[in-house]
Amino acid sequence: MKQRPIKSKTANRTDRSEPARRTDRSEPAERSTRSDIARSKPDAAATKNKPGRPDAAAAKNKRGKPKSAKPQRAQAQAPKISNAKPARHQYADADRPSGPPQGDGMRLQKVLAQAGVASRRAGEELISQGRVEVDGRIVLEQGLRIDPENAVVRVDGVRVVVQKDLVHLALNKPRGWQSTMSDDLGRPCVGDIVSERVSAGQRLFHVGRLDADTEGLLLLTNDGDLAHRLMHPSFEVSKTYLATVSGALERGVGKKLKEGVDLDDGPAKVDTFTLLDINEGKSLVRVTLHEGRKHIVRRLFDAVGHPVIRLVRTDIGAVALGDQRPGTLRVLGRGEVGGLYGAVGL
């Protein structure tokens, strides 16, 4: 009698439950695998922004060259509000020049340069050294703007003329010429020498007069205030003459002239007297005086018995005739003009 193989209960249980067990376990395993893959796959945005990772825009084309990135629409960003205090120059104009504040007028160093005092750089050094004065106040700051027409500028105490239209001339008037701008009798006059300047629009007038027989220095200007003060006796501007007189002067003549001589219109005297030469019955002397009366030098020497043969004015204040030829004009230098202004308190 054949015996049937005895199946173990364990085996039967295993055989029946194994497929079911596999089916039951496969689903959680599959879900676990998908979850792990999802966790292990990096975020696209993170990969794109992470440094060192190739971007999608870096993909290569068929020729092996990197493709150009596609233009993306710019996204409007919301305005950011900041409560921080703005900087002092946050809204300053970029074209605004730096330095001292801008104002009316002309920079002082430029005024000095145009007046012939010094270059702009040298003018800045004069200002920094405290040698420049404007309207009675010493200026130390650079870039100060002034009105050249009205400001009174001095360098080392000497007045600087900064007005462009002011003219100061020195003329060596020849002997026999009239000290007038025109002459009805047709005689040669000062106006003939400066006719070109007058026709060009300059309004010139002579400072004082020299008689026709007197030659030498005569000032011409269009500065009426200066001319008035130079001619006024109260300002006592000195004038120097070379006089050739008849006869040999005695020793006491000079002393007498300095002490004073009585004339028809009052006493008069000279400030200085120097005997230069005696030759062939004539004497050459130099005298300085601040009198402005008509023919004053000739009248003084007539009073002491030595009439004048030839008279030449050589100096007016700080202006000297020098070797200037008769009938010629020259423009006064800055120091000469400043000396004239200083002599009359301008």
The CATH number given to whatever domain includes residue 259 is 3.30.2350.10
Report the C-alpha gap between 312 and 292 in whole angstroms: 15
User: In terms of domains, do 266 and 136 share one?
Assistant: no
Centroid of chain to Cα 309:
52
Binning the chain into helix, strand and coil, the percentages to the nearest 5 are: 30, 25, 45
Domain that holds residue 336: 165-235+324-346
203 in the same domain as 185? yes
The domain tally of the chain equals 3
In a domain, 12, yes or no: no
Residues 226 and 328 in one domain: yes
Same domain, 123 and 252: no
Query: Are 338 and 294 in the same domain?
Result: no
Same domain, 221 and 329: yes
Residues 268 and 294 in one domain: yes
100 backbone dihedrals φ, ψ, rounded to 5°: -65, 155
Kindly give the parts of the chain with pLDDT less than 50.
1-2, 8-30, 32-33, 35, 37-38, 40-42, 44-54, 56-57, 86-102
Question: Does 119 share its domain with 137?
Answer: yes
Could you give phi then psi for residue 3, rounded to 5 degrees?
A: -100, 130
Identify the CATH number of the domain in which residue 139 sits.
3.10.290.10
What pLDDT is stored for residue 120 in this prediction? 79
Task: Select which of 36, 165, 211, 265 is catalytic.
Answer: 211
Annotated active-site residue 36? The verdict is: no
Q: What pLDDT shows up at residue 315?
A: 94
207 and 339 assigned to the same domain: yes
- The whole-number pLDDT of residue 157 equals 82
> How far is the CA of 300 from the CAs of 60, 120, 239, 270, 289, in angstroms?
115, 50, 15, 9, 11
pLDDT tens digits, residue range 119-135? 778 888 888 888 888 88
Are 182 and 330 contained in the same domain? Answer: yes
User: Which two three-digit tokens encode residue 138?
Assistant: 């010493």
271 lies in a domain? yes
229 and 244 fall within a common domain:
no
- Helix 334-343 / helix 224-231 crossing angle, nearest 10 deg: 60
Confirm if 288 and 271 have CB atoms less than 8 A apart. Answer: yes
Q: What pLDDT is recorded for position 245? A: 94
Q: For residue 89, what pLDDT is reported?
A: 45
Where are the extended beta strands (E) located within 75-194?
106-107, 132-134, 137-138, 145-146, 153-155, 158-160, 168-173
Considering the domain boundaries, does residue 217 fall inside one? yes
Specify the CATH number for the domain of residue 339.
Answer: 3.30.70.580
**Token duo for residue 216:** 């030498």
Q: Are residues 190 and 336 in the same domain?
A: yes
- Backbone dihedral angles phi then psi of residue 129, each to the nearest 5 degrees: -85, 0
